[in-house]
Structures are given as C-alpha cells and as structure tokens.
Amino acid sequence: MTNIPTGPAIEVAGLRRSYGSQVVLDGIDLNVPEGTVFALLGPNGAGKTTMVRILSTLIRADAGQVRVCGHDVAREPDRVRAAIGVTGQFSAVDSYLTGEENLLLMADLHHLGRAERRRRTADLVARFGLDEVARKAAATYSGGMRRRLDLAMGLVGGPRVIFLDEPTTGLDPRSRRDMWQLVRDLVANGVTILLTTQYLDEADQLADRIALLDRGRIVAEGTPAELKRRVPGGHVELRFADDGALTAAAAVLGVAPPAADGSLLLRVPGDGRVRSLRALLDRLDAAAVEVEGLTVRTPDLDDVFFAVTGQPAASGRPAAASGKAVVR
Amino acid sequence: MTLAVRDSLTMLRRQLRHMTRILSLTLMLLAVPIVFLLLFVYVLGGTLGDGLGGGAGGRAAYVDYVTPGILLVTVASAVQGTAIAVAMDMTEGIIARFRTMAIARVAVLTGHVLGSVLQILLQLAAVLAVAVLVGFRPTATAVEWLAAAGVLTATAFALVWLAVAMGLAAKTVAGASNLPVPLTLLPFFGSGFVPTDSLPAALRWFAEYQPFTPIMETLRGLLLGTPIGDSAAVALGWCGGIALTGYGWAKWRYNRER
C-alpha cells in the first residue's frame, strides 16, 4: 500500500445533525489530509463531541457525506472501525482490569495472534510510561495515567486515523504536556489525527490546521499562524472603583463600555508591551481617571472567536465560561 | 460467525475477570438465598413443615420442600448482579469504545450472559451444598439431576437476558440494582415456600399462573419425585418466552443511539 497517492484521511461534506429541534451540526465541510493533525477548536456545546461521535461511527449523521480512509461511515462502518482509534473525553478504560489486561483485551478484540498481542502490549506499556502501574487495576490510576492508558488502548489495533476528543481536559499541566508529547510522537509515525479542544494553545501546539467550530458551523479554518494573524494580539483588562470612572475611561479610550453587569471591568485591545501600556495609562492619567488595577491577557479562545465572529464565543451559553477559565 | 464467537469468548473472559475483582458483590448476592434457606429451615421450618400435610412433617420435610424455591431465589438474586454489571458498563466509556471497534456487536451482551450463567451455576452448586448440609435429601437419579441442571440453566439463561435488558434500560446503576428485585420475591408468591392451595384465592390464582411455580414444581419433581404433570413443558415455555423477550429488549436498547 506504500505508493498510493495520499488522499484525504477524513472527508466531510454538508454534514448535519440535530437532536430533536436542536441543531448541533449545521453543514460542516472539512478535509484532513493523511498524516496531518487537524484540530477542531470550540467552546462547550459547539458540536465537537457530536462531530467525533459521527466520525467514529457511534451515531449517524442526518445529512451529508462522511468518509474516513475512503470508507463511508454510514455504509461501511466496520471498514471505518477497523481503521480508527478513539480516545474520548471520558476515559473509556475498564476500571476493574489492570492496565495490561485492558491492552490485552483490545489486542484480543483486534484478533491479534498470541505473540503479537504480548509484543504490542509490552511495547505500549513502555511507550506510555505505564510500567509501574501495568499490573494494577485501572480504577487506581490518576487522571493522567487513565488518559494515557486510554490513548494506548486506541493504538493497539494500529489505527491509521485517531480521534482525540478533548484529550487533555481535566488534566494537570504536567500530564497535559506529557499527552502533547505522545501526540507528537504519533504524528511522527505517520498517522492522521483529528483532535477537539477548547484550548487555543493546545491546537496551536499540535495541529497543522485548525477549524473554529461555533454553534455547529465552521467559522474559520487555517493554519495556526493564519488564524493568529486574525487575532489582534490580546487585550488589557482595566478595573475601576465605580461606574463613573469606567464610563469616563471608556470615553477617553474610545471603546464601547461593557454592559452594566456590575463587574467594573473594561477590555481594551492591546498587546501588553510596556510601551503601549504606559501610553494607555498616560491617556487615562491625563483625563484624571483613576484605575484600580490592570491585567494583561494573551489571546485566548474568546479573542479568536471575537476576532472571527465579532462576538464572544457562544454568548448566552454559560458553559462557554469553562474554556476561558483554564486558558488563563 | 466464528469472529462473533471469538469476540464473545473474549468478552466472557473479561466478565469472569470482573467477577473475581468484585467478589464482594458476588458473595453478597450469594448470601441472600443462603440466609433465606437458614431462616426458613431453622426459624420457620418446624412449624411450616407440619403444615405441609402428608409424610412426617416438621423441619426435615420442610428442608426438602423449600430447597427448589431457594434455588430460584439464588438465580433471581444473582441476576441482580448482572443488571448492575451491565449498567456499570454503560456508565463507563468502555462500551462506547467497543462500539467504535470492528467487533461483533452482540459480543458485549453475550459475554455478560455467558459469564452470568456460569456464575449462577456455581452459586447454585454452593446453595445446594448448604441445603444438603442442613438436611436436604434429594432422591434424584443421575438423569434427573441432569434434567434439573438443565431446567436451572434454562431459567438462569432466561432471567439473565431479562436482567441484561434491565441493566441497559436503567438510567443509573442504582436503578439497575432495583429493577430485578421483584424477581427475588416471585418464589414467595408461588409454590416456593408454601403449597399454593394454602393461599387466599386471588393470590393462589396468581401463584399458579406465574412462571416460577411450574419451574419450582418441575425441580421438585425431578429432585424429590413429586408429580410433575405439565409443569415441565410450561416451565420451559416460560423460560423460552422470557429469554426471547429479554434478548429482544436488550438488543433494542443496546442498538439504540445514546
């Protein structure tokens, strides 16, 4: 199979899916070339998990074409299943079995021979740093270990395409970086990865291309560099003692005052360099507006969404707040 | 087809491992029929045995009478474990993973069924051993023992499929552990603990037409030589019906999108 020209590993056209009256995916088109990493970036509720569930044959699309490794997910689900590995947002490991037994279970379900199942299990245990815990029940694992085991289980069958649904959500920073390294190693071996994430930095770190998913639509797509060019470089958050100062500052700086939500915070676009900060404060000083405090924010998911859609990510949906909280 | 068998055996091995890992649940569910047995034989048996009519009466007669009912309590109690295990599987992501793999879909369920039936047969042997210790004296020949084992296996198979469906239908693990509880009570509303003709009219009608009574009467006939009549055929009919219903219900629940 080596000399076949590389086509897209994942092709999606006109994909739609609703749950009852709620439209979750509203016409998705995307192409992921073989051997690349594609990130679906979006807040909670954007439709990322639904997307992965359709691509991995768990649920059906209402409309549209979805092909993985050249096979239609609706018509040839078993062909697709034989070619993919899935790691979910909630670890799909068997808690009662040990890590090693979990991997052997996968090997058996992939119908590997006796020698091969042993070899592959031992290899994955070593590669994913599970040596010390391989003979302990998965129920005793830390979050990071569970996620590593989960990913390892998805690799037993030697998949050509891997879906990672929020692979680092809920992990501590160290486990997160470990996970990133594992993903990079996978790519080096030539597999195709589609990952979903709510973290811009994660998509930036890992992906060749990023698609921004918002309310079931892809609102922007490009390389990380292309997308970041569309983000104005973060903002400065100013805190005031009272509404009067806030309104005055908004007038001086020429930005729209925020809705009267009582937070007394004003977001001003800016890159946080000392010179521009000083200029900003000088202008406020000159107008005799007292600033209580100041925070510099690097671009986060909200900024990307703001830049692309002209409105904050998934406004009106409280769940979106969780994405922002962790990026900081 | 051979792959379906192979996958089912893989799932069976997984199930058997689980049973050794959650031994406490298995033992607790095994304790239910044994406690009932001891309670009914030693606390109530002296009096109830005298009321059986015919024969010597007393505790010795009651041990023989109650053991078939206790065997069904064993099965009914054990399938609670099946429902719990299935529901726990569903709450963990592992089932979703199985669904994304190119394996026989039904293997997950057949693994549960085979594992549970094997476990129930072991539990039945344990309960029978205790019954013999406290005075159960079956008169069965080898062939009758085999037939009794067959009836118990058919009953276990039917109730396990029903419990698998219950485990799939339940929204929570707690719900799954409650759904099969009425099954444990059914032998009481049948000929398990007292002859049905001693029951009030409405209850007697229910007792005579519910599935557990013909099963218990068949076991009693095979193990102790009481008349069986058409109980065996009715019992097997019930087992077939319950198994098919459970299988259909389980398959429908399992193949639904979630």
Return the residue of B nearest to A60 by Cα: B257
Kindly list the residues from chain B whose CB atom is less than 8 angstroms away from the CB atom of residue A94. Answer: 14, 92, 94
Q: Are residues A15 and A149 in the same domain?
A: yes
Rounded to the nearest 5 degrees, what angle is found at the Cα of A88, between the Cα atoms of A85 and A94? 85
Q: Which token pair is A52?
A: 């992965």
**Residue B101 and residue A109: Cβ atoms within 8 Å?**
yes
Residue A101 touches partner B, C-beta closer than 8 Å: yes
The whole-number average pLDDT for the span A256-271 is 75
Q: In the β-sheet with A265-269, what is the strand arrangement from edge to edge? A: A265-269, A235-239, A293-297
Q: Are residues A166 and A79 in the same domain?
A: yes
d(CA A276, CA B68): 88
**Residue B93 and residue A81: Cβ atoms within 8 Å?**
no
**Domain ends where: A179, A199, A229?**
A229
Residue type, B110: T
Nearest-CB residue to B102 (from A81, A96, A153): A81
**Residue B96 and residue A88: Cβ atoms within 8 Å?**
yes
pLDDT confidence of A300, banded at 50, 70, 90?
A: low
**Domain ends where: A229, A251, A272?**
A229
Determine the pLDDT at residue A233.
64
Kindly list the residues from chain B whose CB atom is less than 8 angstroms away from the CB atom of residue A58. Answer: 96, 99-100, 257
Q: Are residues A120 and A265 in the same domain?
A: no
Determine the pLDDT at residue B54.
66
Return the residue of B nearest to A53 by Cα: B100
CB A312 within 8 A of CB A306: yes
Residue B142 touches partner A, C-beta closer than 8 Å: no
Q: Are residues A239 and A308 in the same domain?
A: yes
Alpha carbon dihedral A57, A60, A61, A62, in 10-degree steps, equals: 170
Determine the pLDDT at residue A301.
64
Q: Are residues A15 and A134 in the same domain?
A: yes
d(CA B98, CA A123): 22
Return the residue of B nearest to A102 by Cα: B14
d(CA A159, CA A191): 7
Determine the pLDDT at residue A128.
87
**Domain ends where: A174, A200, A229?**
A229
Domain count of chain A?
Answer: 2
**Residue B92 and residue A81: Cβ atoms within 8 Å?**
no
pLDDT confidence of A187, banded at 50, 70, 90?
A: confident
Kindly list the residues from chain A whose CB atom is less than 8 angstroms away from the CB atom of residue B92. Answer: 92-95
Residue B98 touches partner A, C-beta closer than 8 Å: yes
The whole-number average pLDDT for the span A222-236 is 77
Determine the pLDDT at residue B239.
96
- Is the pLDDT at A274 greater than 90? The verdict is no
The whole-number average pLDDT for the span A17-26 is 91
CA distances from A196 to A10, A153, A165, A199 (A): 14, 19, 5, 9
A293 membership: H or E segment, kind and range: strand A293-297
Determine the pLDDT at residue A232.
63
The whole-number average pLDDT for the span A119-131 is 92
Give the number of other CB atoms < 10 A from CB of residue A307. Answer: 19
**Residue A82 and residue B94: Cβ atoms within 8 Å?**
no
Residue A69 touches partner B, C-beta closer than 8 Å: no
Question: Does residue A156 form part of some domain?
Answer: yes
- Contacts across the A-B interface (CB distance below 8 Å): 62
Q: Are residues A133 and A241 in the same domain?
A: no
The whole-number average pLDDT for the span A259-270 is 76
Determine the pLDDT at residue B35.
95
Determine the pLDDT at residue B233.
94
Determine the pLDDT at residue A227.
79
Domain containing A28 equals 8-229
Q: Are residues A200 and A69 in the same domain?
A: yes
**Digitized pLDDT (tens) for each residue of chain B, 258 residues in all:** 588 899 999 999 999 998 888 888 888 889 999 999 999 999 998 888 888 876 677 888 899 999 999 999 999 999 999 999 999 888 887 888 898 999 888 898 999 999 999 999 999 999 999 999 999 999 999 999 999 999 999 999 999 999 999 999 998 889 898 999 899 889 989 888 888 888 899 999 999 899 999 999 999 999 998 888 899 999 999 999 999 999 999 999 988 865
- Is the pLDDT at A248 greater than 90? The verdict is no
- Is the pLDDT at A284 greater than 70? The verdict is yes
- Where are chain B's structural domains? 2-255
Q: Are residues A198 and A249 in the same domain?
A: no
The whole-number average pLDDT for the span A105-131 is 92
Identity of the highest mean pLDDT range in A88-92, A294-298, B202-206: B202-206
**Residue A92 and residue B93: Cβ atoms within 8 Å?**
yes
Determine the pLDDT at residue A293.
87
Question: Does residue A3 form part of some domain?
Answer: no
Q: What average pLDDT is seen over chain A?
A: 84
Higher pLDDT, A161 or A314: A161
Determine the pLDDT at residue B76.
94
Residue B96 touches partner A, C-beta closer than 8 Å: yes
Determine the pLDDT at residue B123.
94
Between the two ends of chain B, the Cα-to-Cα distance in Å is 26
Determine the pLDDT at residue B257.
66
**Residue A60 and residue B257: Cβ atoms within 8 Å?**
yes
Give the number of other CB atoms < 10 A from CB of residue B41. Answer: 25
Q: Are residues A25 and A99 in the same domain?
A: yes
Determine the pLDDT at residue A90.
66
Determine the pLDDT at residue A225.
80
Kindly list the residues from chain B whose CB atom is less than 8 angstroms away from the CB atom of residue A57. Answer: 99-100
d(CA B66, CA B40): 8
Q: Are residues A240 and A221 in the same domain?
A: no
ipTM comes to 0.83
Supply the CATH number for residue A146's domain: 3.40.50.300
Question: Does residue A134 form part of some domain?
Answer: yes
Closest-CA residue to B61 (of B212, B220, B170, B245): B220
Determine the pLDDT at residue A317.
38
Determine the pLDDT at residue A320.
34
Residue type, B200: P
DSSP characters over A262-273: S--EEEEE----
**Where is average pLDDT lowest: A142-151, A254-263, B94-103?**
A254-263
Q: Are residues A224 and A249 in the same domain?
A: no
pLDDT confidence of A79, banded at 50, 70, 90?
A: very high
Determine the pLDDT at residue A2.
46
Closest-CA residue to A45 (of A314, A301, A309, A326): A314
Q: What share of chain A is helix, strand, coil (3-state, %, to 5)?
A: 40, 25, 35
Q: Are residues A163 and A269 in the same domain?
A: no
**Residue B100 and residue A84: Cβ atoms within 8 Å?**
yes
The whole-number average pLDDT for the span A164-191 is 87
d(CA B103, CA A105): 12
**Residue B14 and residue A105: Cβ atoms within 8 Å?**
yes
